[in-house]
């Protein structure tokens, strides 16, 4: 082998070594390495924190991929002046650390840059299209855009809605009681999904279908259980026709008019009785002025006479003078 060939071989080896070194220095996670389904985690999911409980149960079914741009957004929010946003962002960073420490949960940090010039939502859509990944988010708008662009979305709120109890406290339902409960006064029935319903004071109605009202519900590891109480069935109300509605309105209007007329009659009578004396007073005063001053006032016809009757005054007769005159006349004779 000539010297020229040896030099070319050495230069080639040096170039290969430098390229391999540069490749080794590049971020290894710039490409998603997940062999199974990759789930891109949004900022809203980390700040919510319920992803840890779901991951602990083993229902993730894939690798959780957290882009570096999402962590950068959490860091930016954690440095803001708003105390609420700052606390939620710090909680999101703690959730990332918790997920990394869980056994059986695969977490990968995707080095896509600490800042997304186009926005974190747009960066997640681009990464999902590039790597055929799934987006896990609670953002309503991002959810809608991803569905329009044909990207699969995992929404924790939809998961919670599907796991919600079908019957809430206060709701009424019909249930067939099949057996006695733990207490002697209880009756037990089952819903179509197998949920056991314990009805209080219903041991006499076993084998019958009764209407119950849900009081409370329990969710345990063994399943769901509800407690209810029996209520009386209410007769269905007849549908009112337009003619019936019109008749009711007419009758109510008449009754109101009658009440108003009855209430106004006493008021009118009182006002008239109050006005009459005021009108009679000036008339009586005018009549008194028309009578002559020397003419005695006429007594009212209906006025009763007093019991004590006073006779006209008479002159008293002096009997002593008459006797003295009689005595003097006899002396003269």
Residue 137 confidence (pLDDT) above 90? yes
Q: Which range has the worst mean pLDDT, 141-145, 234-238, 291-295?
A: 291-295
Q: What is the mean pLDDT of residues 237-265?
A: 64
Domains 27-162 and 172-230 share a fold: no
pLDDT of residue 29: 45
Express each pLDDT in 75-114 by its tens digit.
899 888 888 888 999 999 999 999 999 988 899 998 888 7
The CATH number of the domain covering residues in 172-230 = 2.40.50.140
Q: pLDDT band for position 191 (50/70/90)? A: confident
Q: pLDDT band for position 309 (50/70/90)? A: very low
Residue 333 confidence (pLDDT) above 60? no
pLDDT of residue 46: 94
CB atoms under 10 Å from CB of 249, counted, come to 10
Provide the residue ranges of all domains of the chain, joining segments of one domain with +. Answer: 27-162, 172-230
The CATH number of the domain covering residues in 27-162 = 3.40.50.1010
pLDDT of residue 281: 55
Averaged confidence pLDDT in the chain = 77
Q: What is the mean pLDDT of residues 193-201?
A: 87
Sheet containing strand 107-110, strands side by side: 107-110, 63-67, 38-41, 134-136, 153-154
What is this structure's pTM?
0.54
* Residue with more model confidence, 161 or 239: 161
Q: What is the mean pLDDT of residues 31-56?
A: 86
pLDDT of residue 327: 63
pLDDT of residue 233: 72
Residue 55 · residue 99 · CB < 8 Å: yes
pLDDT of residue 219: 78
């Amino acid at each position: 082998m000539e010297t020229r060939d040896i030099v070319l071989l050495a230069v080639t080896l040096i170039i290969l070594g430098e390229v391999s070194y540069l490749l080794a220095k590049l971020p290894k996670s710039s490409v998603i390495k997940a062999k199974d389904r990759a789930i891109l985690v949004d900022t809203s999911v980390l700040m919510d924190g319920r992803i840890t409980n779901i991951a602990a149960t083993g229902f993730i079914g894939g690798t959780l991929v957290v882009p570096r741009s999402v962590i950068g957004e959490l860091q930016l929010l954690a440095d803001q002046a708003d105390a609420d946003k700052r606390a939620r962002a710090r909680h999101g960073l703690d959730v990332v650390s918790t997920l990394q420490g869980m056994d059986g949960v695969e977490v990968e940090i995707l080095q896509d840059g600490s800042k997304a010039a186009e926005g974190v939502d747009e960066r997640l859509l681009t990464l999902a299209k590039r790597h055929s990944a799934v987006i896990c988010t609670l953002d309503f708008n991002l959810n809608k855009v991803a569905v329009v662009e044909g990207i699969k979305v995992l929404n924790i709120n939809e998961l919670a809605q599907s796991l919600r109890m079908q019957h809430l406290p206060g709701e009424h339902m019909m249930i067939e009681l099949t057996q006695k409960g733990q207490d002697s006064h209880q009756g037990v029935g089952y819903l179509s999904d197998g949920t056991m319903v314990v009805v209080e004071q219903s041991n006499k109605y076993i084998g019958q279908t009764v209407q119950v009202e849900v009081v409370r519900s329990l969710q345990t590891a063994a399943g769901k259980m509800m407690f209810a109480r029996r209520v009386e069935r209410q007769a269905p109300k007849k549908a009112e026709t337009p003619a019936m509605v019109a008749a009711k309105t007419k009758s109510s209007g008449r009754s109101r008019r009658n009440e108003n007329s009855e209430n106004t009659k006493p008021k009118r009578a009182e006002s008239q009785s109050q006005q009459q004396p005021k009108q009679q007073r000036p008339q009586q005063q005018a009549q008194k002025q028309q009578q002559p001053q020397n003419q005695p006032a006429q007594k009212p016809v209906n006025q009763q006479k007093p019991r004590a009757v006073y006779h006209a005054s008479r002159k008293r007769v002096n009997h002593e003078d008459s006797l003295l005159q009689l005595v003097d006349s006899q002396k003269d004779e």
